[in-house]
Amino acid sequence: MKLVTASEMREIDRTAIERYGIPGPVLMENAGRGAAEAILTARPELRYGQKVAIFSGPGNNGGDSFVIARWLAERGVLATVYILTSPEKLKGDALINYKIITHLNNIPVIAVHSDQEWAGYQDQAASENVLFIDAIFGTGLKGEVRGVMATVINWLNGLRKPVWSVDIPSGLDADTGRPLGTAVKADVTITFGLPKIGQIVSPGPEFTGSLKIIDIGIPAKAVEENNIRRELLDHTLCQSWLMARPPDSHKGTYGHVLVIAGSPGKTGAAILTCLGALRSGAGLVTSGLPKSLNPIFETKVTEAMSEPLPETIDGTLSTAAYDRIMELIENKKALVIGPGLSLHPETQALIRRLVAEADIPMVIDADAIRAIKGYLHILKESINIRILTPHPGEMGWLAGKKTWEIQENRLSMAEALSKEYGVYTVLKGASTLIAAPNGETTVNSTGGPALASGGMGDVLTGMIAGFMAQGYNPFRAACLGVFCHGLAGDRLSGQKKISGILATEVAQAVPGILATLRTSRDSTHGQSDNHHL
């Protein structure tokens, strides 16, 4: 499903109105009626004379709320509209629908201009109403919320009663998911046409609650013509990408992954990365690691091969390993470099040389990301595909930003890195982002705090490389790795393991996740071979 910014949604609306001749009032009517139906479907008891408070603002979001009020009233709901602006400021479609409800006798409309005026209504509103509908601001809000609007939003957040938001929680930035001073924390958000990026990208989901998407009659062609490049990474998308595994296939069919990882005290990083590659379906996996660690590795992962490599006096990979690594990549389909490799200066120099010169698709993680800090030009000089998998702190090192700056601008930072350096970026965290150099971006819909423990990133890195080795293009490999990794965590946390989940458990759950996705796809669409990449 496509994800849009506020400006992209406005352009799609404009296309529907101007190119396809669908009047704005029709779209507003569809939105309000659809929202009212969604509310009544979830809360059918409202039809029997229960009271609902609707908070409206000056723009089209307020206009939507007037339509909602009318449709709820027609169904027996006792709706009261609190309009937090002067009615004289209303215009266009919102004004049309305001005039309609003022001509009706069954919808009280109360204009509230100040904190003092609201103080006279708030106690009665809190006690009488069973549901509160927020339609104060829409997706066009840019500045911080102030005045009586901020007061009402904070009041709504203090209620212990359900709050539903119209299109987007008031005060939430539709593009970044950050509150603009303050924002409604909705139990449910009813959005129109397409989901907005700020509802999906963290911390937006904390304010959005459960997201319901209403079709308001925008033609599919209006969306197609606007060339939206961002999508929600969900079951439907991932199922459509999974390739069949023919009965006559063999281990050579599914590629060979080389993992360059590990140092004293961090042999587990190499082990987990190899497990991730194997569990995602790679045919063969070889680990190249410091020779003194090889005996440990061989007792832990019996399904992967290993290659002892020259090491420094401190037991980390030395620059003398370069020639052997270049020989090893000759028959490999993907290379992982970084997990647990250490910050030893000689090892870091080896990493930079490999990133620049190794002619193989490469997943760059952990200590390899640290190694290229200040040397990002080598990404442009690289002669093959490069996928970077930073967490927000590592992204900050690369971009020269604080972690909080990355978190406040996750989407733009990931997309900028990919575009400038021609790489694929997997910015990990809540709502992991995958950005491609051509502008394609997905926002992941799986995963949660159950994955917040050591080794999870190593498994993910191995999975991405494993999918690339099987023949998936780098963008889809990254997306499938992120989605299935998160879904494995969700499945385990659904078994009441909210914390204490191990990275090895996530890796073990991945084959079952892939089987479920394939079974679900085949039962829905009939069995097919998806070889198009």
Show the domains of the chain with their CATH numbers. Answer: 6-228 (3.40.50.10260), 237-245+254-524 (3.40.1190.20)
Secondary structure of the chain: what % helix, strand, coil (to 5)? 50, 15, 35
Instruction: Evaluate if residue 528 carries a pLDDT over 50.
Output: no
With CA atoms as reference, report the closest residue to 64 among 90, 103, 88: 90
Say what the pLDDT of residue 519 is: 86
Say what the pLDDT of residue 525 is: 56
Instruction: Evaluate if residue 20 carries a pLDDT over 90.
Output: yes
Q: pLDDT band at 524, cuts 50/70/90?
A: low
Angle (CA) 446 450 456, round 5°: 80
Rounded-to-integer distance, Cα 31 and Cα 501, Å: 42
User: Mean pLDDT across the stretch 3-27?
Assistant: 96
Angle (CA) 388 394 399, round 5°: 85
CB-based contact 394:370 (threshold 8 Å): yes
Residue 415: Cβ within 10 Å count: 22
Instruction: Evaluate if residue 133 carries a pLDDT over 70.
Output: yes
Rounded-to-integer distance, Cα 121 and Cα 110, Å: 10
End-to-end CA distance of the chain: 19
For the entire predicted model, the pTM comes to: 0.91
Say what the pLDDT of residue 328 is: 98
Say what the pLDDT of residue 531 is: 34
Question: Does the CA dihedral 435-193-185-43 come out positive or negative?
Answer: negative
Instruction: Evaluate if residue 256 carries a pLDDT over 50.
Output: yes
Rounded-to-integer distance, Cα 97 and Cα 102, Å: 9
With CA atoms as reference, report the closest residue to 134 among 72, 54, 212, 194: 54
What pLDDT digit, counting tens, does each position of 424-466 carry?
999 999 899 999 999 999 999 999 888 999 999 999 999 999 9
User: Mean pLDDT across the stretch 65-72?
Assistant: 98
What pLDDT digit, counting tens, does each position of 33-56 carry?
999 999 999 999 999 999 999 999
Say what the pLDDT of residue 410 is: 92
Rounded-to-integer distance, Cα 126 and Cα 149, Å: 16
Say what the pLDDT of residue 105 is: 83
With CA atoms as reference, report the closest residue to 161 among 85, 33, 56, 52: 52
